[in-house]
Copies of this chain bind each other. A is one copy, B any other.
C-alpha cells in the first residue's frame, strides 16, 4: 500500500484545532534537577516554616524541629498531666511483663527488657512527634535478633559475646534508621507494602507462638530453627518430657488473658482489664509458685534479677568482633522492620487524632533512641502497636505518658526486681501468645483476597515464607513479590482500545464502556503507563498486534479499511530514549502499512522529550492533538474529504465538535 491514497494534498487543511499541544517552557538543567530532587527527597517541604524568618527565630524553630518537646512543652497543662499519668502507669503495667517476655524471646537476659523500657522512652519523649506512641521492645524484632544472631553465636554457650553483638546490632539499627531519616530516604520503608506487613506479621506471630511451646510444655531442649517443621519435630520427638504442671498453668493464664481481651474488645471502656491482665497474671503466677514451691516440680521461673538502673554498655559495642557483619545485617533488617511498625503505628494514630507526623523526622528520633539505647544496655525498641493502642485508649495526651512509664520502670528496677524471682516462665509464654494471636489478622487477608488477588499472593508468600522457611526468607519473598509486581506493571502496561461514547466527543475504553461506538477506519489506542526501556519492545509488538487484529476484523466487513492509528498518550507520564525509539519504529510500521500515526494529548514531559529528539517533526506537529476527540474529528475530516465515496455513518459524532 503506497502513501498517496491517504494523504490529503494539503497540510494546512482547515480543522477544529483551537489549541496546539504545548511543549512546556524550557527549563535549565540544574533548575529541573533541583525540582526533581526536591520532589524526591523533600516532598513534604519540611523547611517551609523556616522561610523568611530572622536568624534567632530560625534557631528556635530548628531546635523545636529536632526536639518537638520544646514546641508543645510550654503549652503543657495540668489536665494533660493527669491524663498522661494514668496512661503512663497503664502502659508500664503492660511494659514490665512484656519487656521481660520479649527479652527471653531474643535469648537475652530478662532484665534487658526492663532496661529497654527505661531509657528509650525518655529519648523518644524529647525527639518524637507522635503523641500516642508508647515505646518499647517488640516481639518480631526480638525474634529476628534471636534467630539472626543465634545462627552465628550460641546464646547459652557464649552469653557475653551474644549480648555484646545484640548491643552492636541495636547500634547499627539506630545508625541505619537515623541515616534514612537524615538522608530523606524514608520512602524505602514504603516498599514494605501493607499486604507484606499483614502476611509477615501473621507469620512472625505464628512462629513466635510456636516458640512458646517450649515454655508451655516446660521443655529444656528445643530446636534453634524457627520453621514449623523443625518446631513440630522437636516438640513431638520429646513427648515424654512434657510437663503437665507447666502446660496446665499456661493454658489457664492464656484463657484468662484472652478472656480479658474479649471483654475489653466488647466494651472499649474496659480497656484497662486487658491492659492490666499481663501484670495480674505475673503477680498471680509468682504468688502461686512462691506458695506451692512449684519451681521444684517442673515449673521454670525467671530467677535472680539484678537491682539497679541500666549499666553503661558503650564499651561493649563489639566493633572489632569477627561477627561484625552479622551484627550489621541483623541491625539493618531489624531496624527496617522496627521502623516500618513504628512509623505505621505513629501515622495511624496521628491520622485518627488529626495531627501530622513527618516520617523522616520520626526515623531520626527512632535512630537516636536506639543509638543511645545501645550505649545504655538496651536492645532494639520501637513503637509497638499493642502498647500504643493501650496508651491511646487510656487517654494519653502527649509523649509525657512515655516519661511516666519510664519512671515507673525505673522504680521497678531500683526496688521491685526481687519480686520477679518466682515469676514462672510459662506465664511469660502465655503473655506472648496472647499478644501474638492479636497480630494474626485474618480479616485483613480476606479483605486482600476480595480486592486484589496479587496483594493476597504477596501476603500469603510472606506468611508461608516465614512459617515454613525463616523470618528473613518470608521478608525477602514478600519484598521480592512486591517489587516484581511493580516491575511487571511497568513491563506489561495495558493498551486499551477506545470507542466513542454516544452523543459526545468523549472516547473511553471499550472494555469498561460496552456501549461505545467504533469509529470506522480509525483505531484508537490508549497506553496506560510510562514508556520505558522495560516495556518499549512489548508496546511495539502489542501495538502492531492491535493493528493486525483491527485489519483482520475490517477485512471481513464492508466498512472502510483502517486508515488512522491514534495513540492516546494522556496516561503516559514519562518516556525515555528507548520509548522514543519505540515510537519511531511504530511510525515506520504504520508508514509501511499505509496508515497514518496520530498522537493525542501527550503530557509535558513527553512533549519535551519528543521535541528534543525531533520526533515531533518526524510525525508532524499537525498530527498531534490536544484530545482524542479533536484527533478523531480531524481524521474523519480527512477521511471524508479525501474519500468522498466512503461511508459517512459516523459524521454526527464528530460534527458537533468541528
Contact = CB atoms under 8 A, between A and B. Distances in A.
Interface stretch (A40-48, A243-251, A285-293): A40-48
Interface residues of A, number: 91
Number of copies: 2
Given A537-B187, A576-B193, A43 B545 contact: yes
B482 A359 contact: no
B541 A43 contact: yes
A506 B576 contact: no
Which of A39, A533, A537, A585: most chain B Cβ within 10 A? Answer: A533
A646 interface: no
A493 B585 contact: no
Given A29-B453, A450-B612, A489-B574, A190 B535 contact: yes
Contacts of A532: 193, 485-486, 489
A537 B455 CA distance: 17
A497 B544 CA distance: 34
A513 interface: yes
Interface stretch (A258-266, A373-381, A554-562, A603-611): A603-611
A570 interface: yes
A232 interface: no
Interface stretch (A17-25, A160-168, A211-219): A17-25
A33 interface: yes
Contact of A573 (B359, B529, B533, B609): B529
Interface string A583-604: 0010010001000000000011
Contacts of A19: 501, 504, 506, 513
Interface string A472-504: 000000000011011111111110100001011
Contacts of A453: 29, 33
Contact of A541 (B44, B576, B592): B44
B490 A490 contact: yes
Given A528-B603, A530-B529, A577-B452, A25 B491 contact: no
Interface string A495-524: 010000101101011011110000000000
A319 interface: no
A72 interface: no
A218 B132 CA distance: 74
Contacts of A454: 576
Interface of A: 18-19, 22-25, 29, 33, 39-40, 43-45, 187, 190-196, 347, 351, 354, 359, 447-448, 450-455, 482-483, 485-494, 496, 501, 503-504, 506, 508-509, 511-514, 528-530, 532-538, 541-542, 545, 570-574, 576-578, 580-581, 585, 588, 592, 603-605, 607, 609, 612-613, 626-627
